[in-house]
Structure 1
Amino acid sequence: MVGNLKLSTSSQCIKYLMFVFNLLFVITGIILLSIGSVIHSVYYNYHHFLDDRFFSVPSLLIAVGSIIFFIAFFGCCGAVRENYCMIVTFATLMVLVFILELSAGISGYVLRNTASENIQEKMLETMKNYNKSVDITEVWNKLQKDFECCGTNNPTEWTRLLGNDTLPTSCCPTQNLKDLGTISTCHINSTNVYKVGCLPALESFVKAHAVQLGGAGLGIAFVQATGIWFSVFLAKSIKRSYENIHSLDSQK
């Protein structure tokens, strides 16, 4: 009787801990959704310089965050009803989420290490279409204005492409122009031209967000490993209780 009482008490404790964990589980889902959505939006501003791999990780976090709300239902209902099948389903889905989050976390760090070469190739390619595409012109002007840079590696890349010493006006800070009544121009020899290329700035920007994706995926994955342990323990306790009841009924 004492052993059964201890088992019942521990099961009840795990049951209540499951409720607390599911609340935290939903919060982690909101965090993943938020991080994935924000970084996806940030990356989209410079999507001409990034390939699809950079969008796959935030998209995966958004998908996992959405799935978590569905999974939490099984955890709460299974704990309330002490339903073995629902708890096992919850534990199985949790393992799948754990694997997906590990994948997202690892992918985030892999992207960080492979960002430079891919971004440089895209930037040099899009420079050729400056003034030929409205989208390309706008995204380059935004990039150079936001990061106070000019060209991929240096401003002279524009002079070779454009065939003269004129640079895109975004290569010079317009607020420093002396004569605001004239059309703003920017030349390679302008005193206020941005001297540094945009590659290092954009690369650092993308890498920093890739690290955030990786950290979020790995960090939350290991937190959720605790929930897997709770659900497995509770499932075993419920199964053991069922077996004890079945054994008592057989003896009668």
Structure 2
Amino acid sequence: MRSCGPSLIKYVLFAFNVLFAISGLGILIAGAVVLADVNEFNHFVEGRVLAPPIVLIVTGLIIFLIASLGCFGAIKESPTLLITFAVLLAVIFIVELAVGIAASVFKKDLEGMVKNSLQESIKRSNSEDTMAWDNIQQKLMCCGVDSPADWRTLSANKTLPGSCCQPQYIDSTVGHCLESPALGKDKYFQVGCVGKLKDRIEKNAIILIGVGIGIAFIQILGIVLACYLANSIRQERAK
């Protein structure tokens, strides 16, 4: 029994840490995908929007290190390493919980923040703003903040950019719609960008929340398992 107990503990904890390492890889990939997607429109969003995926990427890397510590602790049958493993899991869990709470609070102000950023950008209309607007309007198939009319009321030149044109109506020689009224519904995107950008950010937030919840359950299991196994090793050695 004395030899069987620790052996079983090694196998159980090793299997858990393989699963934990895979989950770390999953959370890292999810964070990287979301960061790449949101970063594409970073001209219009604050750093707070980019923070959660960055935290997940860092967490994924840390999870790999913690999983290695768990495997090492099981191999060495060290209660101290196993308890350290459990404490590190708890710390990561608290960090993820704090990020989740911060993201929930920030979500309430998301639309207002995005709308204000878009409006200020149209008013400036410098070369950097123009490039950013061309990118977002072409990628999200939208025009202006709430509608194409925003370019008439907010921009310096009071002219709609060519990126507001639907692709099939763009004349390649001039890069703009031809033979269409200024705000023509037949050839220009009519949906504003604020709603589409907000939806894009919230869609990514759902991905992060889903991944975070899954990781949280695994972490809680790891904390309980590590504490239980550390106690089992102590009892086995005390016999």
TM-score where L is the length of structure 1:
0.85
Q: CA deviation at 1:164?
A: 6.0
CA-based RMSD: 2.1
Q: What does residue 47 of structure 2 align with?
A: 52
Aligned partners of 1:112 and 1:211 also within 8 Å: no
1:155 pairs with 2:148? yes
Q: 1:102 to 1:8 in 2, by over 3 A?
A: farther
- Distance in 1 (CA, whole Å) between partners of 2:112 and 2:56 is 25
AA paired with 1:30? L
Aligned partners of 1:78 and 1:84 also within 8 Å: yes
Aligned partners of 1:15 and 1:234 also within 8 Å: no
AA paired with 2:17? N
Secondary structure of 1:128 counterpart: helix
TM-score where L is the length of structure 2:
0.89
1:42 pairs with 2:37? yes
Secondary structure of 1:91 counterpart: helix
Q: CA deviation at 1:28?
A: 0.9
Q: What does residue 117 of structure 1 align with?
A: 112
Q: What 5-or-longer segments of structure 2 have no aligned partner? A: none
Q: Deviations over 1:13-54 (max 9, x none)?
A: 343111111001111111111111111111111112111111
Aligned partners of 1:150 and 1:197 also within 8 Å: yes
Q: Percent identity?
A: 34
Q: After superposition, where does 1:166-185 map in structure 2 within 5 Å?
A: 166-177=159-170, 180-182=172-174, 184-185=176-177
Q: 1:163 to 1:81 in 2, by over 3 A?
A: closer
- Distance in 1 (CA, whole Å) between partners of 2:175 and 2:84 is 67
Q: 1:192 to 1:218 in 2, by over 3 A?
A: same
1:67 pairs with 2:62? yes
1:188 pairs with 2:193? no
- Distance in 2 (CA, whole Å) between partners of 1:136 and 1:45 is 14
- Of the candidates 24, 44, 65, which is equivalent to residue 29 of structure 1? 24
- Of the candidates 86, 95, 104, which is equivalent to residue 99 of structure 2? 104
Q: CA deviation at 1:8?
A: 6.6
Number of equivalenced pairs:
236
